[in-house]
Amino acid sequence: NAGVTQTPKFQVLKTGQSMTLQCAQDMNHNSMYWYRQDPGMGLRLIYYSASEGTTDKGEVPNGYNVSRLNKREFSLRLESAAPSQTSVYFCASSEKMRLEQYFGPGTRLTVT
C-alpha cells in the first residue's frame, strides 16, 4: 500500500515553461486535493476534486489547471510557470469530504 504518491520529487523550471505534477492514490478514496506550502503561510488549497469527474477551485487557483484522470489520479498543470509559483506542492486524498486527508511526500518546484 503506497498511499499517495507524487512525481517528480524535485523540478526546476524556467519562467514560461509548462509542466504537469502527477499524483496517484491507492486507497480507493473519492476526494483528492492539491495544496501549495510556502514559508510562513501554512498550506493553501489550489484545487480539489470531490469525486471522479468533478473539480473545483480552491483558495489560490490562478495559474493552475487540474485533471481528475480517473479515481486514482489527479494531476496539476502549470501552463506558463512564474517565479511566484516556486513552492512545495502536496497532493492529498480522503475517503469523503470532511474526513481526514492523507498526504503525499510533496514536489519541490523552483521557477527561475
Question: Which residues form the interface with another protein (CB under 8 A)?
Answer: 4, 33, 40-45, 48, 50, 56, 58, 90, 92, 97-106
How near is the Cβ of 102 to another protein at its closest, in Å? Answer: 7
Q: Residue with C-alpha cell 474526513?
A: 99
Residue 95 in grid coordinates: 475517503
How near is the Cβ of 106 to another protein at its closest, in Å? Answer: 5
- Closest CB to another protein among 37 and 65? 37
How near is the Cβ of 97 to another protein at its closest, in Å? Answer: 5
Residue 50 in grid coordinates: 470531490
Q: What is the 3-state secondary structure (H, E, C) of 13-39?
A: ECCCCCEEEEEEECCCCCEEEEEEEEC
